[in-house]
């Protein structure tokens, strides 16, 4: 179906444009303005040129947070995508069992981010938490508040707990769109489980998996609330991801200039990644429209 050209459609989009411009363009402009200036008390500004950018780009702070962030997002993707696919493949295809699975799996997705943090904060504590207590009873020393490695494991476990269902639900939706004739053909050919997955299921899931990777990458790239509640970015700075560091700088220390420069660089990276994914998505959409 070809869409018709109609320039008056602009009027239908106008309210969104105005509203989102108010929420995004004006703040972005402000951020650009702040990033070139130093401020005293948040109302007197002095032009400092590129100083903040230079300082940030040449200090360890930004790069450390960026490195931690990349590592975190990569680990998250490496665990959640395969696990989500595995769960989706194992889900019942229909009936009440499928409904129960869907509802239970969606539950973590709908919990406020800070409550997710609270749940794991409580769950992992050695004195009052089931996980922490069990581990310490087993003789494993585990303390996410003091040991950086334990903190990382907990944050990752928390994110896997929180978001793997998203990947699974998307993959499941992709799987359900495969006509049963495909499976019947595979059975006649006596195809192995692996080749059914590789040549039927995986290609059909391509579109949804791209979306899953996009969403998981982006959302983990801006993760703030959950680790903030769980570890507060600690111990030390070990779980201080980009957003946590930025908020510390912007609202904790009220360093408008550096925080704005930080924001812009952060946003530029987001923009690049969004564009790459969007382009891939559009290309796949076109491929599927042709097929």
Q: Is 149 helix (H, G, I), strand (E, B) or coil?
A: helix
**Residues 62/261, Cβ–Cβ less than 8 Å:** no
d(CA 155, CA 15): 39
Nearer CB in complex with another protein: 68/207: 207
Q: Is 146 in the site for another protein (CB under 8 A)?
A: no
Q: Is 220 in the site for another protein (CB under 8 A)?
A: no
Nearer CB in complex with another protein: 75/218: 218
**Residues 160/80, Cβ–Cβ less than 8 Å:** yes
d(CA 61, CA 138): 38
Q: Is 70 in the site for another protein (CB under 8 A)?
A: no
Start-to-end Cα distance in the chain = 14
Which x/- pattern over 73-102 shows residues binding another protein (rule: CB under 8 A)? ----------x--xx-xxxx------x-xx
Q: 151-210: which residues touch another protein (CB under 8 A)?
A: 161, 164-166, 168-170, 172-174, 180, 183-184, 187, 207-208
Which x/- pattern over 2-41 shows residues binding another protein (rule: CB under 8 A)? -xxxxxxxx-xx-xxx-xx-xxx-xxxxxxxxx-xx-x--
**Residues 155/117, Cβ–Cβ less than 8 Å:** no
- Taking every pair of Cα atoms in the chain, the longest distance, rounded to a whole number of angstroms, is 76
Q: From the CB of 236, what's the least distance to another protein, in Å?
A: 18
Q: From the CB of 74, what's the least distance to another protein, in Å?
A: 18
Which x/- pattern over 229-258 shows residues binding another protein (rule: CB under 8 A)? x------------xxx-xx--xx----x--
d(CA 256, CA 45): 10
Q: Is 140 in the site for another protein (CB under 8 A)?
A: no
Q: 262-291: which residues touch another protein (CB under 8 A)?
A: 263, 265-268, 270-275, 278-279, 281-283
For the CA atoms of 9, 13, 18, 19, what is the dihedral angle to 10 degrees? Answer: 170
Q: Residues, the chain, total?
A: 291
Q: Is 249 helix (H, G, I), strand (E, B) or coil?
A: helix
Contact with another protein (CB under 8 A): which of 71, 74, 82, 107? Answer: 107
Q: Is 66 in the site for another protein (CB under 8 A)?
A: no
């Amino acid at each position: 179906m070809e869409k018709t050209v109609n320039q008056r459609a602009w009027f239908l989009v106008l309210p969104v444009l105005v509203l989102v411009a108010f929420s995004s363009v004006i703040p972005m402009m402000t951020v650009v303005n702040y990033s070139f200036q130093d401020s005293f008390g948040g109302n007197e500004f002095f032009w400092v040129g590129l100083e903040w950018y230079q300082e940030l780009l040449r200090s360890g702070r930004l790069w450390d947070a960026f490195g931690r962030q990349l590592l975190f997002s990569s680990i998250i993707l490496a665990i959640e995508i395969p696990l989500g696919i595995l769960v989706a493949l194992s889900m019942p295809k229909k009936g009440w069992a499928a409904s129960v699975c869907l509802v239970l799996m969606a539950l973590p997705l709908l919990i406020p981010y800070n409550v997710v943090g609270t749940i794991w904060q409580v769950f992992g504590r050695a004195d009052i938490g089931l996980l922490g207590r069990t581990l310490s009873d087993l003789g494993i020393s585990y303390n996410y508040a003091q040991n950086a490695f334990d903190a990382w494991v907990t944050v990752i476990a928390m994110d896997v707990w929180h978001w793997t269902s998203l990947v699974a639900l998307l993959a499941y939706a992709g799987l359900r769109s495969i006509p049963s004739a495909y499976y019947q053909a595979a059975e006649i050919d006596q195809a192995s489980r692996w080749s059914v997955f590789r040549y039927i299921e995986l290609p059909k899931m391509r579109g949804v998996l791209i979306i899953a990777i996009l969403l998981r990458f982006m959302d983990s790239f801006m993760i703030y609330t959950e680790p903030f509640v769980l570890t507060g970015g600690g111990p030390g700075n070990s779980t201080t991801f980009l957003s946590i560091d930025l908020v510390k700088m912007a609202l904790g220390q009220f360093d408008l200039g550096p925080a704005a420069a930080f924001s812009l660089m952060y946003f530029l990276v987001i923009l690049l990644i969004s564009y790459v994914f969007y382009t891939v998505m559009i290309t796949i959409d076109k491929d599927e429209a042709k097929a």
